[in-house]
Structures are given as C-alpha cells and as structure tokens.
Amino acid sequence: MAGTERTRDTIATLLARDTAYDQDPAGDPPITVVMYRAAIRSVLAIHPAEPGPMATSWSLREQDVFGAGSRATLRAVIDALADALNGPTVDVTPASETPT
C-alpha cells in the first residue's frame, strides 16, 4: 500500500497548497474548479472491486463478504464526498445489502 500512501500524501499536499492559495491568491490556483469536478466525477464512476482470479478458491461466503466489503467501502467514499458537499447524509442502504 506504499503507492496508496504516496498518492494520499500527494493529494493532501495539493489540497494544502490550494487552501493556502485561498488565503493568498497569487498566480494560478493549484486546483481549478474543472479539476475538482473531474475528481468528483472519477470517484462517482468507480465500481466496487471484483475479487479477481484468486476468488476461484474462495467459498461462496468469502466471495459474498468480499463483495459486501467492496460495496461498503465505495458507499463510505461516496457518503464522505456527499457529506463534504452537502452535509451529513442519511443511510438508505436496503437491509438486504447490510453486511452481517
């Protein structure tokens, strides 16, 4: 996961630069509105992860748990984005999709 942490650090640095730009807007902004919209669209386009070739050795229960975890993770990311843009969201997850 080192690549993920590096990417996370890069994004955090870019956001910090953009926040600093808001305080002292000199030159071009580090992140433009178009870039923000593109980032949001890319998150909304994500589909839950598929288990991949190793899943052939998994039990049906393991596959179900992996799928539930993938969906829950994606739902958490989308909810966090919605919360940041609109305020807290209400969980409308159908009971049939709730992980056990």
Phi-psi region of 93 (alpha: psi -120 to 50; beta: other; left: phi over 0): beta
Work out the average pLDDT over 7-15. Answer: 94
Count CB atoms within 10 A of the CB of residue 64. 13
| C-alpha to C-alpha distance for 55 and 61, rounded to whole angstroms | 11
How confident is residue 93, by pLDDT bands cut at 50, 70 and 90? low
23-53 per-position pLDDT tens digit: 999 999 999 999 999 999 999 999 998 888 8
Rounded Cα–Cα distance for residues 55 and 60 (Å): 9
Tokens encoding 36: 């923000």
Mean pLDDT value across the chain: 88
The distance from CA 51 to its chain's CA centroid, rounded to whole angstroms, is 18
Overall average pLDDT of the 74-100 stretch:
76
